[in-house]
Every structure is written in structure tokens, then in C-alpha cells.
Structure 1
Amino acid sequence: MLARTADPIVAIATASGRGSVGIVRVSGRELAPLIDALCGRALKPREASYLPFRDADGSPIDRGLALHFPAPHSFTGEDVFELQAHGGTVVLQLLLARCLAAAAETDPATGRPRLAGLRVAEPGEFSQRAFLNGKIDLAQAEAIADLIDASTEAAARSASRSLSGAFSDEIHTLLEALVRLRMLVEATLDFPDEEIDFLQEADAAGQLVALQSQLAAVQQRARQGALLREGIKVVIAGQPNAGKSSLLNALAGAELAIVSAVAGTTRDVVSQTIQIQGVPLHVVDTAGLRDSVDEVEQIGIARAWSQIEGADAVLFLHDLTRSAAPAYAQADAEIAGLLASRLPASVPVIDVWSKLDALPATQPPPDSGVSLSARTGAGIETLRRRLLEVAGWQAVPEGVYLARARHVQALSRVEEHIALATAHLAAHAQLLDLLAEELRLAQNALNEITGEFGADDLLGVIFSRFCIGK
């Protein structure tokens, strides 16, 4: 549910803990009485003033910079008042409490509370108000949270492009093309007896082809952006002592998992997020897959299969030093069969041959899969490139904007509706009503991305994930 948008709100807008600077932010209407109570005078719009922040008895709580951004020229589109103080936890809590107390005090000039109804902001409420007041669209609002949460430089730069409106501009370009087509179709429906065929004269078929081409380009960049934001989950699977933990350590560049010659050392899930060309990969090391009577190891194996079944890609590790042994090869074949039966066809399984450094010089490595040595690093870079391939990553850094799974799904629905619209157009006048409906549905799906209209519960979910004060 959306927050009470008429209430003035206040929050500490910087991260918790100690820091050199901390910010308390207020957003609402007619903030002058509250500003006077805290600062002792009016503030010049958009100009920083260094002064004491006053307590109820006039004594200073702290000294710092105060700023006033009158509506609509502010982040939220409302009046915004900021106190930039020293970043101590106690100091900021005192200023927050003082704002709330001063808001409830009677203003001598009016006889009314200085700022009636002031309350602590809910998560993401400042950004939510910026969206509701038309300062940013929904995709840009999400980009704020993505920029804060970015785990790689590429993700941060892409989120910044989304925040600046690069993604939204492309969506609006698609929307404009859809609206033009809808106008043509509606005109044909409204004037069916006219001799001029509006759709043929305006090359509606050509416009649909151009729209499909534009949409494909946006989809490609959005998929890349979703990869930068979400990454993929890669699970390392195989028999005990195949080198799974060594591979995790080699990919991560750190000793994260215990490595031992004793089979079954890894009994629980060990995971680490790494980045390859800016793409986050969530790599999971699992217990060795085998029949075991050990109760603890059985739990680890069950957890391993749970991770495997939720993977976006699986690295099936084979020990080159044991691959010729009949029992080992038979066990690998059984695991391969289980992977094929328990994984969707869309989840790639990459065969990885480990311990290349221990392979005799006279024995060539297999032609299929990736052969490597976690000890020497040979083949690790090849595996990294292979992982990017299966993830669908293409290096287009300047054109990528950060996107979310819901954006990609919405664009897929647009693609489906446009395909149906193309089929209806080919059937000419008999299916013009259906053509108009498919174009309308395509426009609705695009509007979901920018939030021009949508369900309140969708907005609530999105903004509830923000931090307080943002």
C-alpha cells in the first residue's frame, strides 16, 4: 500500500554509524515555521547557510549547513529542508527528534503547529514522492536503489545511465511509435467507409517492422542490464575430491573453501560472488555427489542437489586423473543422467576437466568442455569466457543501462503483442479490432516499466526495498 503522501516526512538520509557528515531531510509543504525553529531565521532558496541547529531552549545541538529547496525545484517536488551535521549517531538522532518536536510546537505567528503531521519517512518514501510528483519515472526511481546497491563499476555506470533517463527515453520512443499506430488503427475503425485506406497509406506494416527492430535493440540492452544487476548463479557439482573447492578458490582468487585430499571434505554450501567483465557471478561450491551412509554428508548432498536445481548454469567437474577408472566413469555417467533429468533444458551444463597439471604429457585432454588446473591457473580464463557466453553477455558497455527482471519480462510481453498485431494486420480489415487490442496491450506493458500507470501494490513493493531517508 502506498504511504500517506499528504503527510510531511523526515528521516536521517545517510547510512547508520559514524561519519564525517550526516544529513537529516524533511519534505512537505510550508516548511518555513519549522526552518525558523531549527535555524532561527529564514534560509535563501538553494543556498547553503552555516549556522547552529537550535534545541527547544535555543542552545545549539550542532553546527552545520542548512539548505532549503522550495517546491517544485527539489528532489521530491515538495519543499525540502536539509540539515547537514556531523555524522555521529547521537547527534543525528537528536536532530531528528528535534524536528519532530518542533513540528508539534505552536507557531507564535499562526497559533497552529509549525508542521502538523510530521512523521518519520518509510523506506524509499522520498524517492516515491519524486515519482508521484513527476520528477522521475518508475524506471529512474528503481535506478536510484540500483546505483546504491551496485556491486561492480559496470553496474554503477549502467545504473547511472538509467537514472539519467537513457532507458526511459528508449521506452518513450517505443511508446510514441505505438501511439501513432494506434491512432491509425482507430481512425480506420472510426471511418470504415472512407475510400482512403489509412493503414496502407501510412505504411502501418512498415511501421510495425520498424517497431519490432527498435524493440529488439532495447530488449538486448535490457537483458545485458539485467545481467549486470542480477548476475547468474553458477553451481559447481561433481564427485568428491574432483577439485570443486579448488576451482571456487581459483575463480574467486581467495582461499574461501577448505581444500583437502580427503574425499567429502566439503559438507555444506560455500558461495562467493565474483565479477567477470563487470558481470556478477554467484559461484556455489557443493558437497561431492555420491552414495553415503554418513548422515551429515547425506544432508550436504541433499543441499547440493537443491542448489543445483536452482542454478542458472552448472559446472560439472571431472577429475582427469581418475577419468579412465571404470568405477569413476560410471559414477560420472550416473550424475550426468541425474543432471539431465532434474534440470530444465535451458540450464547449461558445462563439462570441466580438472587437475590438468597432473595429466601425463602423453595423454591429451578431452576435446569437449574446458580443461583446467586450479593449481596453476591454466584454463581458468577460458572458463571465465565460457561462463560469460552461457550467461548471454555481450560487451556493449556504452549502450547498457541497468534493468530489472520485471523490465525484461514486460518487454517480452510487448514483443508477443506486437507479433500478434502483425498477424492481425496481415488479415486486413476482418481483424482490425484485434489489432487495436494487441497494440493497446503492448502499450500497457511498456507503461508498466516507466510507471505511467500501474497497481499501487507494485509501487509499494518497489519503494519498500529502499533504505530509510532515500
Structure 2
Amino acid sequence: MIHNETIVAQITSPGKSAVGILRISGPQAKIVAIEVLGKIPRARLATYSTFLDEHKKVLDKGLSLWFPSPHSLTGEDVLELQGHGSPLIMDILIKRILSINNIRLAKPGEFSERSFLNGKLDLIQAEAIDDLINAETESSIRASLNSLQGHFSLFIQDLINIIIKLRVNIESNIDFSEEEIDINIKDIINKAFSEIHHKFLKIKQTVIEGNLLKEGKKIVIAGFPNSGKSSLLNILSYNDRAIVTDIPGTTRDLLYSHVNINNIACELIDTAGLRDTDNEVERIGIVRAWEAIKKSDHVLFVIDKTIEKSRQKKICADFIKNLSNNSIQVTFVLNKNDLVNEPFNFEKKEGLSFISISARTGQGVDILRKHIVKIEKNKNKESVFIARRRHVHQIDLAYNEFLLAEKNWIFFQNIELLAESLNIINRFLGEITGRFSSEDLLKQIFSSFCIGK
């Protein structure tokens, strides 16, 4: 899909800099080269050039690069001009280029959108450009690059290919009645179901990890009132986000803080103190605290270490019992250790993790940070990609449809019904890579990009 309109934008950050770069894409790029440079430069070769105004007077000097269609970023003719990074020079050059007919300023993300529409990138790769620009940790950068290089797309395409192969097999039998379905096709379907199920579970786990990298690992800080939860939030986030007082029940709602702990993106969530109370507002806060705990990736349960050891042990046992989800990582943070004069360290007791700290003095907090990082880095991240909520949603839709198809096949063994379900699954997955996509979806995705991308 080659556009009739030619677009231009500055692709370097606005403001003063050593170099400023303009990108022009579309059918008029050749005219821009002739008008501004006096000629079309040699393809894919950096050429020292003079940038001219309409009266052939020099506006600037720099490098020009010419990428003829289809071997370019967008699949169209592309010209890049690299001049001095003065905002005034950039503005004058843009005005000069806009004075040529049928050229306009690019919209946010329009270069990437044209790359997608012209088959240079799929939708996952296009989104990965934006994710790479906005990445805040090294792990996020690596995951974004995995997606940009097409690794995530191949992962999805492998599953689509298995589904297509099954569709081909069953649709070749579509004219037979239910009584005439032979054993061979049943074996093919059952074998394919097993393979598809395995692929879906692997993709779902990978996408969950990729979504964690994008949105941050959810770490809930929980505990009884006045145990030091809010103080811990403040010291981990290097900011006085939470109000800290000696009055029990000060924190009554969820308080969020996005932090980078040794290159691990985390969303810290401070919660109301867990206790029985007659206060209606505080009780609502406690309900929300438990909801947050059950949706978290890691719970830092803060305990006042000055209370009796037997009570500490009972608090730990009761919390683990009430949690009822063994997949959530729990670390018991023994706060106020400076008041009991015991070592600041990490201990493993009866399968539970304990770290002694002082949120007041900061002692032991570095041990806690290293513990959080160690848990995250122990997970296998070699094949992780950045996953957006859109990807998670589409995979959930596809997987739920597959489970329904599997159930219907067991009960009815109807090939036509199975073929229709496989078609729906294929469409859900195809919307991830952009094989099937609406104009509204594309507008929503690319409008979030910066201008020049």
C-alpha cells in the first residue's frame, strides 16, 4: 500500500543538538531531493550535500541519504537530511520542504504505520519500536529488541501454522457426514489438540512475563497497622509517597509507586493495615488490601520485630493460611530490627523467607532490594518479549475459544463446528500480528507514538 501523500518530520529530539535529522517518505521524496539538494543522491550512501532554498541559496550543509522504494524503512522512497541541530535551521528546512506541492507534516507514528501497511513490519514489531523508546530498564530493552527482531511474531505464527494445518486436514473432510468421520481424522485432531494446548500454555506464560516487564512486577506491602509498611514504601521508592504516623490505620487506601529496583521495574503497592475494625472506611481499605495481595506477584509482609517471637510465628502462619495461593512469592520483612539489636540479614526458616531491616535507619534495605532482584532474575528470561495488554487479551480470547472447541469436539465431534472455532481462533491470533486489524485499532496504536517514528 503506497500512499499518495508525502510526509516529513524531524526524527531527532527537538531542541539544540549537534545534529538534527529530517525524514521524508512518499512519492514526492525524489522531488524534494532535486529541489533541496539539486540531485538525487546515490542510493544507501551517505553523501555530503548542500541544502538549498527555493532561490538556490544555502540553508545548511550536511549529509543526505537516499533509500529508493521498496528497500526502505517505510517501503516507499525515503530521503533523510542530516544537518546542524539548531531548532531554527530545522524549522527553516521543514518549511522549505513543505513549500513543495503534496507534502505535509507526518502524524505521530506515521512512519511506523506506513512500514506496517507496506509489509516491512508486523504490528508486534511496530509496537516494539514504541516500547523500545519508552523502556526504563535493561530487561525491557532486551525484550523490546526481541519483539522488534520478530521473535514474538514467530512464536505466534508457529501456533497459527499448527491451527492452519489442522484446518486444512478437517476441511478436506467437511463434505462427509458425522457418521463417516474416520478414525484417522479423529487421531489427527486429538494429536493437534495436544500440540495446540501445549503451545498456548507456553505462550500464555511468556506473555505474562513480557507484560510484567512492560507494566512492572506488582509488589504489595502488607502487614498489621504500625508495622512500618508506609515507611518501607517510602525508602524503597526514595520518596515520601506515604504519610507516616504513630496512629494505627493511617493508610486506608492503596498507594502506588513505580520504581526501578536494580534494573527491575516494579509497582509497589502500600496497603491498609490488616486487622479487625469497626471503622467502615478502614474496613473497605482492608478488603482492597486483600484484593491487591491476591493479584500480586510478590508480597512483602511487614512484621514489627519488637513483638514476641511466638506472636511473629503465628502471624506468619496465619497469613500463609489465608493467602491460599502458593504461586505468590512471600517475603516476611522483620522491621524495627534496630530496636532489638539483632543482625540485619536474610534467613530461610521452615521454607519461609525472612529479612531483618530498619525502615527508620535504612539498615538491611539493600539486602531486601537484592532479594527482590534475585527472585526476578532466577526466572528464565531468555525468550521473554514485551507484551502489551492487547496481546494478553487476544491470547486469552483465542485460548478460551480453543477450550470451547475442545469441549464441543468431545461431546459432538462435529467437523463444521470445529472448523468455525479454528477460524475464530486464527482471527484472534491474527489480530496480534496485524494480519486481521481494523482502522480503529491501528489509529489507537500508532497515535501513541512520538512524531518521527
Q: Same fold (TM over 0.5)?
A: yes
Structure 1 residue runs of 5 or longer lacking an equivalent are 105-115, 292-297
Query: Does 2:6 match 1:19?
Result: no
SS at match of 1:416: helix
Among residues 49, 52, 55, which one is paired with 1:54 in the alignment?
52
Q: CA deviation at 1:373?
A: 0.3
Q: CA deviation at 1:386?
A: 9.0
Change in 2 beyond 3 A, CA 1:261/1:223: closer
Change in 2 beyond 3 A, CA 1:243/1:42: same
Could you tell me which residue of structure 2 aligns to residue 168 of structure 1?
153
Decide which moves more: 410-419 or 197-206. 197-206
SS at match of 1:11: strand
Among residues 394, 405, 411, which one is paired with 1:421 in the alignment?
405
Could you tell me which residue of structure 2 aligns to residue 109 of structure 1?
none
- 5 Å matches for 1:313-462? 313=296, 315-321=300-306, 352-359=333-340, 370-374=354-358, 375-377=362-364, 380-381=368-369, 384=372, 388=376, 395-427=379-411, 430-462=413-445
SS at match of 1:184: helix
Change in 2 beyond 3 A, CA 1:235/1:419: closer
Question: 2:288, 2:95 → 1: CA distance?
Answer: 48
| Conservation of the 8 A alpha-carbon contact between 2:233 and 2:242 | no
Query: Does 2:270 match 1:271?
Result: no
SS at match of 1:173: helix
Could you tell me which residue of structure 2 aligns to residue 107 of structure 1?
none
Question: 2:290, 2:58 → 1: CA distance?
Answer: 59
Q: CA deviation at 1:236?
A: 3.3
- Paired AA for residue 184 in structure 1: N
SS at match of 1:128: helix
- Paired AA for residue 440 in structure 1: N
SS at match of 2:172: helix
Cα distance per residue 1:82-139 (max 9 Å; x no partner): 11112222221221111101x13xxxxxxxxxxx2x1111111110011111111101
| Conservation of the 8 A alpha-carbon contact between 2:47 and 2:64 | yes
Change in 2 beyond 3 A, CA 1:405/1:129: same
Q: CA deviation at 1:459?
A: 1.1
Query: Does 2:182 match 1:197?
Result: yes
SS at match of 1:398: coil
Could you tell me which residue of structure 2 aligns to residue 182 of structure 1?
167
- 5 Å matches for 1:13-412? 13-101=11-99, 103-104=100-101, 116=102, 118-192=103-177, 197=182, 199-200=184-185, 203-237=188-222, 242-248=227-233, 250-252=235-237, 254=238, 271-275=257-261, 278-284=263-269, 312-313=295-296, 315-321=300-306, 352-359=333-340, 370-374=354-358, 375-377=362-364, 380-381=368-369, 384=372, 388=376, 395-412=379-396
| Conservation of the 8 A alpha-carbon contact between 1:43 and 1:67 | yes
| Conservation of the 8 A alpha-carbon contact between 1:184 and 1:199 | no
Decide which moves more: 226-235 or 92-101. 226-235
Question: 2:57, 2:285 → 1: CA distance?
Answer: 60
Change in 2 beyond 3 A, CA 1:405/1:345: farther
SS at match of 1:189: coil
| Conservation of the 8 A alpha-carbon contact between 1:9 and 1:121 | yes
Question: 2:384, 2:372 → 1: CA distance?
Answer: 21
| Conservation of the 8 A alpha-carbon contact between 1:22 and 1:92 | yes
Decide which moves more: 453-462 or 212-221. 212-221
| Conservation of the 8 A alpha-carbon contact between 2:69 and 2:76 | yes
- Paired AA for residue 377 in structure 1: G
Question: 1:58, 1:415 → 2: CA distance?
Answer: 62
| Conservation of the 8 A alpha-carbon contact between 1:39 and 1:51 | yes
| Conservation of the 8 A alpha-carbon contact between 2:52 and 2:58 | yes
- Paired AA for residue 364 in structure 2: G
Q: How big is the alpha-carbon RMSD for the aligned residues of Structure 1 and Structure 2?
A: 4.3
Q: CA deviation at 1:235?
A: 4.4
| Conservation of the 8 A alpha-carbon contact between 2:66 and 2:79 | yes
Cα distance per residue 1:294-339 (max 9 Å; x no partner): xxxx99999999898667536453322257999x9xxx99xx9xxx
- Paired AA for residue 161 in structure 1: N
- TM norm structure 2: 0.80
Question: 2:246, 2:91 → 1: CA distance?
Answer: 54
Change in 2 beyond 3 A, CA 1:121/1:306: farther
- Identical amino acids, percent of aligned pairs: 37
| Conservation of the 8 A alpha-carbon contact between 1:227 and 1:279 | no
| Conservation of the 8 A alpha-carbon contact between 2:125 and 2:149 | yes
- TM norm structure 1: 0.78
